[in-house]
């Protein structure tokens, strides 16, 4: 079945007495004890509501199974702490989510796990960074905030040659636009807080992979306990039924906006993988089914005007996070990339006048008009 069908139906719990359309929400944190098998308990990741949501996400990603976590960061912590051990070395894409970067630099040294940050699209840098104790490679594509694309098949091939576990943060693409397991990547994680939840009202994370790799996460996950309860699972299931329609509309809006914004005289540059002008457009076309709802642009404005511009917007809302039905805008200089400093940002190609937009499901013309009226006011 195709993604739009799976988003609605996969994982549904078939309750035999009442035969409801929706999965029933079992609020119970325990169930009838039998002497065979494992006890039912939420922290064991085996309650029906958890399993139902995992089945839906695994079906969309083409994975065997997975686990749900209390946040995207909890999922990342489970992957890095559960699949790797003291003395291992992991290669990370340099431009990854700020929170992940912070986790790696603060927490991995405590675990005795070594790491390198590199431009993973540079094959020479990849080979030069590989060590005898390298066990994993971790990427994120499209990246934040410049929407750079990492070639999934190249990374998967490198990982296979060197027997590494390859991991991707697939949050920006969502499984509607990109299914990395089909390109040979081993482990997919999402901050479900973004597109999977989709209404800016939930926080959760998910990891999907083979039964073997997910099995390896089990002990770590049970020990640390970053699980979620049944009521939240019910909200996730409800939200995810519309994942495909939401993401298709976001793709369509973002592409239309990117094309129109590229022609506005007061915008210097638009970063969107769906544009022919994007340096990785060909790779994006090969590995993505849609180009996503995230775009960035450089506005002809001073720092002070940028703030006034964001406040003058009437529809687009200045707020961090992304993936919801409403359009949001942020200045990476003041939010995600503040800790990196101006020099670091310049090295990464992030200018002071860069703005990042999470395009929602509103009417695209209204969004464009909002940008035009706000610019007039500054
Ligand atoms: C938000 C985000 C995370 C962290 O997820 P939380 O749900 O906030 O813990 C990780 N990766 C990416 C790409 C994100 O956007």
* Tens of pLDDT, residues 68-114: 999 999 999 999 999 999 999 999 999 999 899 999 999 999 999 99
Residues contacting 355, CB < 8 A, separation 6+: 296, 297, 298, 299, 306, 309, 310, 329, 330, 331
Q: State whether the beta carbon of 191 lies less than 6 angstroms from ligand 1.
A: yes
Cα–Cα distance, 262 to 39 (Å, whole number): 57
Among residues 97, 138, 195, 375, which one is catalytic?
97
Q: State whether the beta carbon of 356 lies less than 6 angstroms from ligand 1.
A: no
Q: CA angle 295-296-297, nearest 5°?
A: 130
Distance 265 CA to ligand 1 centre (A): 33
Residue 334 or 200, more confident: 200
Distance 221 CA to ligand 1 centre (A): 18
Instruction: Specify the pTM.
Output: 0.97
Active site residue 43: yes
pLDDT band for 339, please (50, 70, 90 cuts): confident
Atom of ligand 1 minimally distant from the CA of 73: 9
- Closest Cα to residue 88, out of 51, 136, 130, 124? 136
Atom of ligand 1 minimally distant from the CA of 172: 13
Average pLDDT, the chain: 96
Active site residue 169: yes
So what's the pLDDT on residue 289? Answer: 98
Contact present, 208 and 214 (Cβ < 8 Å): yes
- Closest Cα to residue 253, out of 357, 118, 143, 101? 357
Contact present, 144 and 94 (Cβ < 8 Å): no
Residue 107 or 338, more confident: 107
Question: With 80 as the cut, is the pLDDT of residue 35 above it?
Answer: no
Question: With 80 as the cut, is the pLDDT of residue 372 above it?
Answer: yes
Q: State whether the beta carbon of 97 lies less than 6 angstroms from ligand 1.
A: yes
Distance 191 CA to ligand 1 centre (A): 5
Pairing between strand 65-69 and 205-209?
antiparallel
Burial class (CB in 10 A: 0-12, 13-18, 19+), 288: buried
Distance 192 CA to ligand 1 centre (A): 8
Active site residue 97: yes
Distance 195 CA to ligand 1 centre (A): 11
Active site residue 286: no
Taken in order 237, 65, 13, 233, the sign of the CA dihedral is: negative
| Residue minimizing CA distance to atom 8 of ligand 1 | 72
Q: What are phi and psi of 89, to 5 degrees?
A: -125, 135
Peptide bond into 149 cis (omega under 30): no
DSSP-derived secondary structure letter, 254? H
Contact present, 74 and 98 (Cβ < 8 Å): no
Distance 146 CA to ligand 1 centre (A): 16
Peptide bond into 79 cis (omega under 30): no
Atom of ligand 1 minimally distant from the CA of 75: 9
pLDDT band for 181, please (50, 70, 90 cuts): very high
Q: State whether the beta carbon of 70 lies less than 6 angstroms from ligand 1.
A: no
Question: With 90 as the cut, is the pLDDT of residue 36 above it?
Answer: no
Question: With 80 as the cut, is the pLDDT of residue 261 above it?
Answer: yes
Among residues 135, 194, 246, 356, which one is catalytic?
194
Mean pLDDT for 258-278 is 98
Cα–Cα distance, 145 to 333 (Å, whole number): 10
């Amino acid at each position: 079945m195709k993604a739009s069908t799976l988003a609605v139906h996969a994982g549904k719990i078939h309750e035999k007495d009442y035969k409801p359309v929706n999965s029933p929400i079992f609020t119970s944190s325990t169930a009838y004890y039998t002497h065979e098998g494992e006890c039912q308990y939420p922290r064991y990741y085996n309650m029906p509501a958890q399993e139902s949501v995992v089945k839906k996400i695994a079906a969309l990603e083409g994975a065997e199974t997975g686990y749900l976590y209390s946040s995207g960061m909890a999922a990342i912590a489970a992957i890095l702490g559960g699949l790797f051990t003291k003395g291992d070395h992991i290669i990370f894409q340099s431009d990854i989510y700020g929170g992940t970067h912070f986790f790696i630099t603060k927490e991995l040294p405590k675990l005795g796990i070594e790491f390198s940050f590199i431009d993973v699209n540079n094959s020479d840098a990849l080979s030069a960074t590989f060590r005898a104790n390298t066990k994993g490679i971790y990427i994120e594509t499209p990246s934040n905030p410049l929407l750079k694309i990492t070639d999934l098949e190249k990374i998967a091939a490198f990982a296979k040659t060197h027997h590494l576990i390859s991991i991707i943060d697939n949050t920006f693409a969502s499984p509607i636009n990109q299914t990395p397991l089909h390109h040979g990547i081993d482990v997919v994680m999402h901050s479900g807080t973004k597109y999977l939840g989709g209404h800016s009202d939930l926080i959760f994370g998910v990891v999907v992979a083979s039964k073997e790799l997910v099995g390896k996460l089990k002990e770590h996950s049970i020990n640390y306990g970053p699980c979620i309860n049944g009521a939240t699972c019910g909200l996730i299931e409800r939200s995810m039924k519309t994942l495909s329609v939401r993401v298709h509309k976001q793709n369509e809006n973002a592409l239309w906006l990117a094309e129109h914004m590229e022609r506005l005289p007061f915008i210097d540059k638009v970063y969107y993988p769906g544009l022919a002008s994007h340096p990785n457009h060909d790779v994006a076309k090969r590995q993505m089914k849609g180009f996503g709802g995230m775009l960035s642009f450089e506005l002809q404005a001073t720092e002070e005007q940028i703030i006034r511009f964001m406040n003058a917007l009437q529809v687009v809302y200045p707020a961090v996070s992304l993936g919801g039905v409403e359009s949001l805008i942020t200045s990476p200089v003041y939010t995600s990339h503040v800790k990196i400093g101006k020099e670091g940002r310049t090295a990464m190609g992030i200018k002071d006048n860069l703005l990042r937009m999470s395009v929602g499901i509103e009417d695209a013309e209204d969004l464009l008009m909002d940008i035009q009226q706000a610019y007039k006011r500054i």
